[in-house]
Chains A and B, each alone.
Chain A
Amino acid sequence: MREDKYFLGVDVGSVSTNIVLLRSDNTVEETLYLRTQGRPMQTIQEGIKLLRAKMRKSAEIIGVGTTGSARQLAATLLGADVVKNEITAHAVAASRVNPEVQTILEIGGQDSKIIILRDGVVSDFAMNTVCAAGTGSFLDQQAARLGIPIEEFGPLALQAKHPVQIAGRCSVFAESDMIHKQQLGHSLPDILAGLCQAMVRNYLNNVGKNKDIQGPIFFQGGVAANPGICKAFEDELGQPMIVPEHYGVMGALGAAYLAQEKVGMRPEMQSRFRGLHLAETQFQAKSFECSGCANRCEVVEIMQDETSLARWGDRCGKWSVDVSADIRTGIKELKGGQRGA
């Protein structure tokens, strides 16, 4: 019976939406990777639809966790039991896979982060969401410019004999410098390897600055698929990179683990999951600017038919119908006593 019960982890970012179905014995049953394309609601629904097609009739989801920049939205649509930020989710996933891990380098499509763990606990972190020179979309663009499929980028870079120096401070400079090197007649692998090195330098200077990088090091996020970047990191740090099996969906995996932690804590708890049929449900999202005070909050509202499921974005609590209010207190329950109240 037990093997028919699953935990669902969903990570909705601006570039991709990742879904992980976790068996109750802690192994991964299914992973989905979808492009968000600026339509997070539809993407989540589509993901659930795909998932339902793959699951047995008798299967049951007994806990749901969400993370990513649209974690609140995902939590509302799905009826999540736990909502967590990306840092915590990634850290949880990595330390479940390997409790020894001390550093996590994570590079996704839009943003990148570094997480330092000691004894399985996050002790320091940094994230970078503005500079595009250290992210997956930068690599995508350059690959497109050079006319090679992104899958060949890494393997080609590994063939480099003499990687060229490319200015990596900023994606605009990197791009023009790369074109210049191309015109000088450097070989494609040498240019690709140079790009990898530039990106790694940029990441270490911007995100990894001042951080105590110690092994074992996990390298995760979509970019970890690129062996050229992996090698550049290894050369720069003098340490091997460990790319975990589910490197692309570690956030979603972490969210699933967090849901499991929470439900496992209290077996009598009923998941709030709204069911696999939510793919057919009609949701509407709207937003408005509150004029109640000078804060002028941008309030987001999610509606199903005519009823409001959740509102957020207000600073004062005037509008919040907050699905996650008691989810957020999760960590407090975990201690057996509320904080401060």
Chain B
Amino acid sequence: MKVTFPHMGNAWIVIQTLFESLNVEVVVPPSNSKQTLTMGTRLSPESACLPLKLNLGNYLEAAKEGADTIVITGGIGPCRFGYYGEVERQILRDAGYDYEVVTLEPPDGSLLGLAKRIRYLAGKDNSWAQILKALRFAYRKSVAMDRVEDLIHAARPRLPIPMETEKLYHDAKRRLAQTMSDKGVQDTVRWVQENIRERQEELGTPPEGFQKPLRIGIVGEIYTILDPYTSMGLEEELGRLGVEVDRSIYLSGWVGNHVFQGLAPGYRSIKSYPSHAKPYLPHFVGGHGQETVGAAVKFAQEGVNGIIQIFPLSCMPEIVAASVLPKIQEAYKVPIMTLIVDEHTGQAGIQTRLEAFVDLLERADLQRGIGQTRGDVLSVEGR
């Protein structure tokens, strides 16, 4: 058995770790690219959303490296993602690929069913104790990954040379992917922190009238938020425009809530979103629609300068959320912009919208005046 899985941002680091610690052979597909999308689009129904198209592309690319089993997570409710496992299985079969598909979800909400599937993947050689240990380690790595992402979000607008920041991020990801010990994981986080602090110190005292970077909260469909290829490098681009971003969903927060059924909180737990969403969207609409609304409310209450919602074309839960967001914009007087992506989205169009949005926030911020302390400005300790 050679296991593969679809890409979603940095999730590969965690999934690879899980299987490697169980000695299961795993194929990490080549990162999402134009080629991935082209291959996937060819097999997909025109109206399918972007994640499905990229998933299929990932499998085709992984098949070239000998993968024969696919592991994906499932979902419930009106979002199509819930049956992607099945749809993808059939599309691949029709296209002549002999793939087995294992959906990691708690079937009928029972953790026992989930355990059975994990057991199947792990094979006979692994004891339950080993499986649990591997799960726990992978999970801790994912929390660390989220922590690193957050540090990079804070560093981007504060460090002068974007290329160096991206290199730091890249190196940190490589380190995290390689290490197989808790110490290695913790060291990497510390290493990133140290690195940022040192570079800031080199910069010396900021001049008079120094301003805290703008803050933008990113909400929307999980795949689009977590996968920089899909979002056209949204976070990086904003960082370069001098903005610190925060997002509604981090991988470990989502895994903790959905796969482990809330047994683990993860980084920036997403549990509180439904209650935040209550006044605007009191019920579940599938996917992350309600979380999007809840996160927008939470961000607004925390006083971010602006909010960006991003989702793939035709994503129903997000369309519902998008129709509610203007009320939040009105209630909290916080600008909210919606971006929709599909395989025809051009970088230039996204760029223009982001620049204009940041212009809008900067002009508004200018009038609010300045007067932050050095501590405020240099703090990258996360919040």
* Bound-state Cα–Cα, A88 to B163, Å: 27
List A contacts of B353 (CB < 8 A): 87, 127
Q: Determine whether A1 belongs to the interface, using a CB cutoff of 8 Å to chain B.
A: no
Residue of B nearest to A212 (CB): B330
In chain A, positions 309-341 with a C-beta closer than 8 Å to chain B are 313, 315-318, 328, 331-332, 335-341
Q: Which 10 A-B pairs have the closest CB atoms?
A: A87-B356, A294-B31, A317-B163, A337-B209, A340-B158, A339-B242, A85-B355, A294-B33, A341-B160, A340-B157
* Bound-state Cα–Cα, A88 to B360, Å: 8
Do A341 and B352 have beta carbons less than 8 Å apart?
no
Do B356 and A85 have beta carbons less than 8 Å apart?
yes
List B contacts of A339 (CB < 8 A): 157, 211, 213-214, 242
Central interface residue in B34, B158, B159, B236, by most chain A CB within 10 Å = B34
Do B207 and A315 have beta carbons less than 8 Å apart?
no
Do A335 and B163 have beta carbons less than 8 Å apart?
no
In chain B, positions 314-369 with a C-beta closer than 8 Å to chain A are 326, 329, 335, 344, 347-349, 351-353, 355-357, 359-360, 362-364, 366-367
Residue of B nearest to A86 (CB): B352
Known: A316-B166, A341-B158. A294 touches B30 (CB 8 A): yes
Central interface residue in B158, B355, B359, by most chain A CB within 10 Å = B359
Interchain nearest-CB distance for A1 vs B (Å): 33
* Bound-state Cα–Cα, A317 to B351, Å: 16
List A contacts of B33 (CB < 8 A): 294-296
* Bound-state Cα–Cα, A318 to B162, Å: 11
* Bound-state Cα–Cα, A323 to B241, Å: 16
Q: Determine whether B203 belongs to the interface, using a CB cutoff of 8 Å to chain A.
A: yes
Residue of A nearest to B34 (CB): A296
Interchain nearest-CB distance for B9 vs A (Å): 13
* Bound-state Cα–Cα, A332 to B206, Å: 13
Q: Determine whether B208 belongs to the interface, using a CB cutoff of 8 Å to chain A.
A: yes
Q: Interface residue count for B (Cβ, 8 Å)?
A: 50
List A contacts of B213 (CB < 8 A): 339-340
Q: Determine whether A123 belongs to the interface, using a CB cutoff of 8 Å to chain B.
A: yes
Central interface residue in A122, A295, A336, A340, by most chain B CB within 10 Å = A340
Q: Determine whether B84 belongs to the interface, using a CB cutoff of 8 Å to chain A.
A: no
List A contacts of B355 (CB < 8 A): 84-85, 88
Known: A88-B356, A123-B335, A125-B356. A341 touches B203 (CB 8 A): yes
Interchain nearest-CB distance for A13 vs B (Å): 11
Q: Determine whether A235 belongs to the interface, using a CB cutoff of 8 Å to chain B.
A: no
Residue of B nearest to A289 (CB): B34
CB<8 Å pairs between A and B, sample of 30: A69-B348, A84-B355, A85-B351, A87-B352, A87-B356, A88-B356, A121-B363, A123-B364, A124-B335, A127-B352, A293-B31, A295-B233, A296-B33, A296-B35, A316-B166, A317-B162, A317-B163, A318-B163, A328-B241, A331-B359, A332-B242, A335-B209, A335-B211, A337-B209, A337-B370, A339-B213, A340-B158, A340-B213, A341-B159, A341-B203
* Bound-state Cα–Cα, A293 to B166, Å: 13
Q: Determine whether A129 belongs to the interface, using a CB cutoff of 8 Å to chain B.
A: yes
Residue of A nearest to B348 (CB): A69
Do B208 and A336 have beta carbons less than 8 Å apart?
yes
Of B34, B163, B206, B329, the contact of A337 (CB 8 Å cutoff): B206
* Bound-state Cα–Cα, A69 to B347, Å: 11
Do A122 and B363 have beta carbons less than 8 Å apart?
yes
List B contacts of A331 (CB < 8 A): 359, 362
List B contacts of A318 (CB < 8 A): 163
- B285-304 vs A, CB cutoff 8 Å, 1 = contact: the mask equals 00000000000000000000
List B contacts of A85 (CB < 8 A): 351-352, 355-356, 359
List A contacts of B242 (CB < 8 A): 332, 339-340
Do B364 and A121 have beta carbons less than 8 Å apart?
yes
Interchain nearest-CB distance for A202 vs B (Å): 18
List B contacts of A270 (CB < 8 A): none
* Bound-state Cα–Cα, A340 to B359, Å: 16
Interchain nearest-CB distance for B315 vs A (Å): 17
- B35-60 vs A, CB cutoff 8 Å, 1 = contact: the mask equals 10000000000000000000000000
